[in-house]
Structure 1
Amino acid sequence: MNHSTTTSGPFTAYRALPALSGRAYLPIAFLARLPFSMNTLGVLVLVTASTGSIAAAGIATAAASLGTASFGAVQGKLADRLGQRPVLVVASLLNAISAVLVVLAATGDTARAVLAAACFLLGASAPQVGALARVRWIALAPGAPRTVNAAMGYESTADEITFVLGPALVGVIATTGSPAAALLVAGALVSVFGLAFAMHPTATAPARHPRRAAGAARPASTRVLRRLVLPLVGMLAIGTFFGGTQAGVTAVAEAAGKPGIAGLLYAVLGIGSAATALALVAVPDSVGSRSRWVIGAVGLTVTTAAMLLTHGPGQLVAVLAVVGLFVGPTLVTLFSVGGALVPVAQAGSAMTMLVSANVVGVAIGAAVAGAIADRAGAPTVFLVPLAAAALVTAAGLLSPRARPGATSITDVTSESV
């Protein structure tokens, strides 16, 4: 990266990304993560339609989320040791098969336990595209902190855009076709673009770090995990916010007699989130990660409280658009902080751990809010995302301030290795 990229303006750092990865990589990686954003709401809408119970749908969604939480970090660890390509090939193929199994279990006369098992497999096999893409950027841009920061902002923006498009696509397909078709489309997408992401040349950029021989010095895993505690708590809480909000918008859509619009309602949350995540690179380095975390989380808490005052889809859409403005910056900051605290050899494990914590939170939020929705409905159900947003704030307030001069991911990472 030349000097002009780092001095001519904050947004010019994004220009380096296609040159590092190749232009085909960006659309491939973007589309490869789209099924991940479709699965949770796809399961929620499908099971709600087939059983008539949001609580049953919440349990199915929780099973899928727990599958991802249980095996997401395993994918990261295997990718660190074996390389990303073989791990992603197996995961993509298995995930496509799992989508078909969930549809068969949900639409047939199948026991709830079998449906939950199929959903668990769907979540467990979900390719960890977002996490492993972040690892690729770290490997592609060593010693270029602004480029890595831009890459992290881009990845969070890509996540947010797919979490707009994914639920919206589920909503469109569920409304014009069927909820089952939405999951089948997700399976088709992962079988094509998940494999393309696995086979792209950037998959070999991160170095493999095979298991150490017996008797060799062990990495300071305990210290790394201890430093990751607060980002993990923050990610868990953000996931609970997502899961609770998904159940809440589903309850609002059901009450309005239009269950198929749940995906479209939830997609509104990601519009402002994507924009502010991308714009975060323009924030001066003097605004530290702790300040970014706390400001984003406080804004998220205040605006989420307004969801308790809404009645009907129209009012909820307006509030969700504002809430989303604070989701993107908070997510970018949590990933940046987590990545800064981990040695490069453990980057895959760390990123997938953060994603897994988020997914566990989705499971908690969906299950708890689903039960509340069946009993009290909206807007009471939005107490769950409000409590989650408050937990994100608390974790941010407890996080330590950065050491003087450590303004970038690379600065802090080098200190922790």
Structure 2
Amino acid sequence: MVGPYRELFSAPGTKGFVVAGFVGRMPMSMLGIGIVLLISALTGSYATAGAISATVAIAFAVAAPLSGRLVDRFGQARVLMPLVLLHGAALVTLMLCTAFGAPMWTLFVSAVVVGGAATSLGSMVRARWSHILGRSSRLHTAFSFESVADEVIFVAGPALVTGLTTMVNLYAGLILALVATVVGTVAFSLQRATEPPVRPDIAQSGTPIMIPGVALLSCVFLAMGAVFGSVDLITVAFAEDRGVKAASGLLLGAFAGGSMVSGLWYGFRHWRISLRQRFMRGLAVFAAGLTPILLIGDVKVMAIGLFFAGLAISPTIITGYALIERLVPGHLLTEGMSWISTAVGFGVAIGAWAGGRLTDSFGASNAYAFSIASALLAVVIGIGGNTWLRTPETGHSEAPSPAA
């Protein structure tokens, strides 16, 4: 199983950008839960914590396609460096406003800048793999590896930030997220040899979101993001209701752990069925796997349930990125992948907001119904528009160009 993954790193420079990209995007699993833990501890309201977390996610979702387009036009380093410094300054401001009891509106303003200046580093890493490997069969393995790396982050990140926040200091988790994102992103930006070339002709190009398949995938990942955002917040409340709030990170780690295991398996296999069929099956398994958590009341059993619920996440995300890579013209690839991040970001915001409201009103266990409904919506959207996901590699018509 290790062989195909080892071969990826034979190209010069790959190890460097992979390690830097891994460190730089670690906060993607730490920022939301760190904010929820901090704000809920100080205000006693999961609704308020969810609203601020949602503000960060919405700002990121709005800005991600723009930053992706700028990267395609001006290069990764020229865009990432100023943005990550602004992001770091805004996160420090958010923590200071919280520490000194500043008016609530200052938290929301800081949250807007935190999210707006955040970058979709995972898209940048995948764009480098596409530049280095082209459309060879190894790109499937590379995308699988990156999805597994994401899940390692989601296994370790929530547990780490929860432990630091609950056992060391309320701000410790967010401080670690700040250091990781600045150091990792700067190191990633300085590695220019593997950076995809600048495409100045993008100014005259349309936007990938006008491609029907990209629009459909964005809607599907919007619904999936609502699952992720709601599960993150509701699980914290679920653990607190049972007197083990510190275990919430381990529960979320179990959710990501199932995805990590399936991602390793998925990347190792050589598939004969089309990407479109794999995507549809992944969505169906994702929805089915979530259903049992609504009936679980024990923390240990919930860890097992979340592990199995996460098994379909990586295969679905890997396939989604592979479809984007084949549907979108090369000079718009970073922006195309950023639309997935945007969709997930909006979904996470909706999920965090709805999860907080429903948890405060009906309790954590009942609030999981929203997560399951969001997963079912993803299935309905995906199946309903699956004909838009046909790609040249499956023997169908060429991918359309984006509208001007």
Which category describes the TM-score, using the shorter chain as reference length?
over 0.9
Q: Of the candidates 397, 400, 405, which is equivalent to residue 387 of structure 2?
A: 400
Note if contact 2:291-2:372 (Cα within 8 Å) is conserved in structure 1: yes
Q: Deviations over 1:111-166 (max 9, x none)?
A: 22211111221111222210111111111112x42111111111111111111121
Q: Of the candidates 186, 189, 200, which is equivalent to residue 195 of structure 1?
A: 186
Normalising by structure 2, we get a TM-score of 0.93
2:42 corresponds in structure 1 to 50
Normalising by structure 1, we get a TM-score of 0.90
Q: Deviations over 1:223-272 (max 9, x none)?
A: 84323111101110111000110121011122123333322221111111
Q: CA deviation at 1:395?
A: 2.4
Note if contact 1:252-1:312 (Cα within 8 Å) is conserved in structure 2: no
Pick closer, same or farther for the CA change 1:404–1:165 going to 2, 3 Å: closer
Q: CA deviation at 1:310?
A: 0.9
Q: Which runs of 5+ in 2 are unaligned?
A: none
Runs of 4 or more, structure 1, over 4 Å off, are 401-405, 411-417
Note if contact 2:391-2:398 (Cα within 8 Å) is conserved in structure 1: no
Supply the distance in 2 between the matched residues of 1:332 and 1:44 (Cα, whole angstroms).
28
Q: CA deviation at 1:362?
A: 0.2
Pick closer, same or farther for the CA change 1:227–1:219 going to 2, 3 Å: farther
Supply the distance in 1 between the matched residues of 2:211 and 2:244 (Cα, whole angstroms).
44
1:4 corresponds in structure 2 to none
Pick closer, same or farther for the CA change 1:404–1:294 going to 2, 3 Å: closer
Q: Of the candidates 62, 67, 71, which is equivalent to residue 70 of structure 1?
A: 62
Note if contact 1:13-1:146 (Cα within 8 Å) is conserved in structure 2: no
Q: CA deviation at 1:211?
A: 4.7
Q: Of the candidates 122, 135, 138, which is equivalent to residue 130 of structure 2?
A: 138
Pick closer, same or farther for the CA change 1:221–1:32 going to 2, 3 Å: closer
Note if contact 2:282-2:313 (Cα within 8 Å) is conserved in structure 1: yes
1:7 corresponds in structure 2 to none
Tell me how large the CA RMSD over aligned residues is.
Answer: 2.2
Supply the distance in 2 between the matched residues of 1:89 and 1:203 (Cα, whole angstroms).
16
1:107 corresponds in structure 2 to 99
Identity %: 27
1:167 maps to 2:158: yes
Note if contact 1:290-1:396 (Cα within 8 Å) is conserved in structure 2: no
Supply the distance in 2 between the matched residues of 1:402 and 1:118 (Cα, whole angstroms).
38
1:309 maps to 2:295: yes
1:373 maps to 2:364: no
Q: Of the candidates 239, 243, 247, which is equivalent to residue 229 of structure 2?
A: 243
SS of 1:286's equivalent? coil
1:263 corresponds in structure 2 to 249
Note if contact 1:67-1:123 (Cα within 8 Å) is conserved in structure 2: yes
Q: CA deviation at 1:14?
A: 2.4
Note if contact 2:154-2:253 (Cα within 8 Å) is conserved in structure 1: yes
SS of 1:206's equivalent? coil
SS of 2:37's equivalent? helix
1:147 maps to 2:138: yes
